[in-house]
């Protein structure tokens, strides 16, 4: 049974008002946006994770999806969109517009990073050898042991 006295993602269900767009963007912003923002009382500010995630958004399209989701959640919750959230998203969009999308330190766009990651995942860095020194495929492994590198 999920715990109810502490944060536990399994204990509650986060709404996703736009399943298709969430699938397209690879995340559900409601997961972060569906929280109340409180002033820091000494034990941490509710909403810190949301603002940290906003600072980490890497595409303008995703920023705009977050804006739409904040407005959609406001409508669902019968409240106004939160100005502080919209300002943080607008600031992030300006930053990405000025500095470019993707992680600047890599010099690659998100699609280039995904391509490189896929290539890296497809290559095995370990080669298993049989007793004669021939490469053994992972599917034929039995009783493999780790020995010192040659």
Q: Are 29 and 65 in contact (CB under 8 A)?
A: yes
Is the pLDDT assigned to residue 146 strictly greater than 60? no
Domain that holds residue 56: 19-111
How many structural domains are present in the chain? Answer: 1
Is residue 75 situated within a structural domain?
yes
Sole residue written with tokens 């049974």: 1
pLDDT: which is higher, 104 or 8? 104
Is residue 133 situated within a structural domain?
no
Is residue 69 situated within a structural domain?
yes
Is residue 49 situated within a structural domain?
yes
Question: In terms of DSSP H, where are the helices of the chain?
Answer: 19-25, 30-33, 48-56, 60-76, 83-99, 110-122
Per-residue confidence (pLDDT) for residue 92, from 0 to 100: 95
Q: For residues 99 and 118, what is the distance between their CA atoms, to the nearest angstrom?
A: 25
Residue 29: CB atoms within 10 A of its CB come to: 29
pLDDT digits (tens, 9 = 90+) for 17-58: 788 888 888 888 888 888 888 765 655 556 788 899 999 998
Is residue 130 situated within a structural domain?
no
> What is the band of 61 on the pLDDT scale with cuts at 50, 70, 90?
very high
> What is the band of 7 on the pLDDT scale with cuts at 50, 70, 90?
very low
Is residue 3 situated within a structural domain?
no
Is residue 88 situated within a structural domain?
yes
> What is the band of 86 on the pLDDT scale with cuts at 50, 70, 90?
very high
Is residue 127 situated within a structural domain?
no
């Amino acid at each position: 049974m999920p715990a109810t006295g502490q944060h536990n993602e399994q204990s509650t269900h986060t709404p996703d008002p736009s399943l298709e767009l969430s699938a397209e963007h690879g995340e559900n912003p409601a997961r972060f946006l569906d929280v109340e923002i409180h002033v820091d009382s000494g034990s941490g500010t509710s909403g810190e994770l949301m603002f940290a995630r906003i600072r980490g958004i890497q595409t303008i399209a995703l920023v705009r999806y977050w804006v739409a989701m904040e407005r959609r959640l406001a409508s669902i919750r019968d409240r106004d969109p939160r100005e502080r959230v919209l300002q943080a998203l607008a600031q992030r969009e300006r930053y990405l517009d000025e500095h470019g999308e993707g992680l600047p330190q890599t010099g690659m766009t998100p699609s280039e990073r995904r391509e490189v990651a896929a290539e890296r995942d497809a290559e095995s860095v370990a080669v298993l050898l049989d007793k004669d020194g021939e490469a053994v495929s992972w599917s034929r492994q039995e009783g493999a042991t780790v020995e010192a590198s040659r």
